[in-house]
Amino acid sequence: MKKVSVVVPVYGAEKFVATTLDSLLAQTYENFEVIIVDDASPDGSIAICQQYDDPRIKIIHQENRGLPGARNTGIRNSTGDYIALLDADDVWVPTKLEKHVAHLNNAPSVGISFSYSSFIDEDDNLIGLHQTPKEIWEITPSQVLCRNPVGNGSAAVVRREVFDDIEFMDDVHGKLEPCYFDERLRCKSADATTSTQLIDVQ
């Protein structure tokens, strides 16, 4: 049975992180590990995470490196065959991992399995907005520049080999280490909780 590593960067998500973790631990596919990366969160987010008593959860603390740096740290510390990224203010439906694992298991040539997203408000109510990944032939240059045509950061489950293939070495923090996201490309708003989404698989 394939193991999934779920990387959860946490920064300023005190209001949402419990709901996020509850949705993760409610997955029907249970062979996964949770790597929570405390990116020097200034609020009580990590104290909430520490209340969870589940052997699949590991918490890593680091100085603030932004969302790319937190994801890099999580991936470096992962052991799964498949890797998923889950933002600390997003929610997964219970069958999400099960469906992605089945997709990747049945399609060896597929490196990344995506899902659609529905936007919800702070009380977990659907607001009627959705984000659906586009087929490769539907993607235009303007969509690449203005929007993310494949969904959001919490939508994909990725084969480890994909991250192995894009790995590069960087010393942005004073020591050479493997990276998968460019930590030099930090956006201030990317380090804050800005929207909440319900992530599902068609």
- Averaged confidence pLDDT in the chain: 88
Higher pLDDT, 171 or 137: 171
Domains of the chain: 4-200 (3.90.550.10)
* Residue 76 tokens, joined: 């470096």
Instruction: Tell which phi-psi region holds residue 12, choosing left (phi > 0), alpha (psi between -120 and 50) or beta.
Output: left
Distance between CA atoms of 56 and 84, rounded to whole angstroms? 14
What are 49-91's pLDDT values in tens digits?
Answer: 999 999 999 999 999 999 999 999 999 999 999 999 999 999 9
| Confidence check: pLDDT of 190 > 90 | no
Q: Tell me: the pLDDT tens digits for 80-113?
A: 999 999 999 999 999 999 999 999 999 999 999 9
Q: Per-residue confidence at 153, pLDDT binned at 50, 70, 90?
A: confident
Q: What pLDDT score does 188 carry?
A: 59
Q: Tell me: the pLDDT tens digits for 8-56?
A: 999 999 999 999 999 999 999 999 999 999 999 999 999 999 999 999 9
What pLDDT is attached to residue 47?
98
CA–CA distance, 192 with 202 (Å, rounded to integer): 29
Residue 131 CA to residue 150 CA, distance in Å, equals 9
Q: Torsion over CA of 90, 156, 59 and 197, rounded to 10 degrees?
A: 0
Q: What pLDDT does residue 133 have?
A: 66
* pLDDT at residue 193 is higher than 90: no
Question: Higher confidence at residue 47 or residue 131?
Answer: 47
User: Residue 201's pLDDT band (boundaries 50, 70, 90)?
Assistant: low
Give long-range contacts, CB 8 A cutoff, 24+ apart: 140-145. Answer: none
0.85 exceeded by pTM: yes
Q: How far apart are alpha carbons 101 and 108 in whole angstroms? A: 11
Tell me the helix, strand and coil percentages in the chain, rounded to 5.
Answer: 30, 25, 45
Q: How confident is the model at residue 191 (pLDDT cuts 50, 70, 90)?
A: very low
Residue 111: both structure tokens together: 């490196």
Query: What mean pLDDT is predicted for residues 165-188?
Result: 89
pLDDT confidence tier of residue 202, bands split at 50, 70 and 90: very low
List, in sequence order, every residue forming a beta bridge with 33; answer none if it has no partner: 5
